[in-house]
């Protein structure tokens, strides 16, 4: 079942929906960045997330989910290309949206984003040795000043612009992915189709917009 075309789509759908849940949690926690307390609440939250044993276990599941989703995505893309080796000279009118035809491109953009993001934030939150210019420790418990890392990173205009552009890619990927997942799992039959579409659209706008507001906020703050 898992190696069949449908099985692979089911894996894509389930891992995708799991990542959708992660993004909601990640966004909610990151909203603490907007608290005007010099980063105290955000740093305390990030410290809890990196020391709690339950979160560590969930993190392994998260990275496994990301790798599965990525590998299955590449595999499905290659399969689709093999199924249609020659491109048509004249494009047939297609009812598929641009987002659905460009899942490979959008997925690739998000992959590059994730590599940059994990190297800059995740690595510094967990593994980098505290030293000036990299990350500092702010109390005896070893809480890292991740707020300062985020603030400094987003004070750079081009870096923030890249983040915002990637969030547009994420929005399109989520919009198509959400509906595709529900269709694959057979949860979008007639009665619910419109509801699924609306929830997917709302999610695909609100979540990337919430993330994009963070670089914009810190960049504008750095100008004052």
> Residue 135 interacts with ligand HEM (CB under 6 A)?
no
Helix (H) or strand (E) holding 14: helix 5-30
**Of residues 121, 159, 203, 217, which one binds ligand HEM by CB under 6 A?**
121
SS3 content of the chain, % helix, strand, coil (to 5): 75, 0, 20
CB of 212 to ligand HEM, least distance (A): 7
Contact 33, 147 (CB under 8 A): yes
Residue 125 token pair: 């939150």
> Residue 26 interacts with ligand HEM (CB under 6 A)?
yes
CB of 214 to ligand HEM, least distance (A): 4
> Residue 211 interacts with ligand HEM (CB under 6 A)?
yes
Collapsing DSSP states into helix, strand and coil, what is residue 89? coil
Q: Name the segment binding ligand HEM (CB under 6 A); options: 75-83, 87-95, 114-122, 196-204.
A: 114-122
> Residue 174 interacts with ligand HEM (CB under 6 A)?
no
The rounded distance, in Å, linking the Cα atoms of 35 and 150 is 14
CB of 67 to ligand HEM, least distance (A): 11
The rounded distance, in Å, linking the Cα atoms of 37 and 214 is 16
The rounded distance, in Å, linking the Cα atoms of 63 and 195 is 30
> Residue 138 interacts with ligand HEM (CB under 6 A)?
no
Contact residues for ligand HEM (CB under 6 A)? 26, 30, 46, 49, 59, 62, 110, 114, 117-118, 121-122, 125, 146, 150, 163, 170, 211, 214-215
């Amino acid at each position: 079942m898992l190696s069949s075309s449908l099985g692979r789509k089911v894996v894509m759908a389930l891992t995708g929906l799991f990542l959708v849940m992660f993004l909601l949690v990640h966004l909610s926690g990151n909203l603490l960045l907007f608290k005007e307390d010099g980063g105290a609440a955000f740093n305390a939250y990030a410290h809890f997330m990196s020391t709690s044993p339950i979160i560590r276990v969930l993190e392994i599941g998260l990275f496994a989910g990301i790798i599965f989703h990525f590998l299955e995505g590449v595999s499905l893309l290659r399969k689709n290309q093999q199924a249609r080796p020659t491109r048509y000279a004249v494009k047939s009118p297609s009812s598929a949206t641009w987002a659905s035809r460009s899942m490979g491109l959008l997925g690739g953009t998000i992959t590059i984003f994730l590599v940059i993001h994990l190297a800059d934030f995740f690595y510094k939150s967990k593994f980098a040795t505290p030293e000036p210019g990299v990350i500092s420790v702010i109390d005896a418990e070893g809480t890292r000043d991740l707020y300062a890392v985020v603030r400094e990173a987003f004070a750079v205009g081009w870096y923030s612009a890249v983040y915002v552009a990637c969030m547009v890619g994420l929005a399109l990927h989520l919009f198509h992915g959400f509906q595709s997942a529900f269709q694959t799992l057979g949860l979008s039959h007639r009665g619910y189709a419109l509801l699924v579409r609306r929830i997917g659209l709302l999610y695909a706008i609100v979540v990337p917009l919430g993330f994009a507001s963070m670089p914009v906020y810190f960049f504008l703050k750095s100008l004052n």
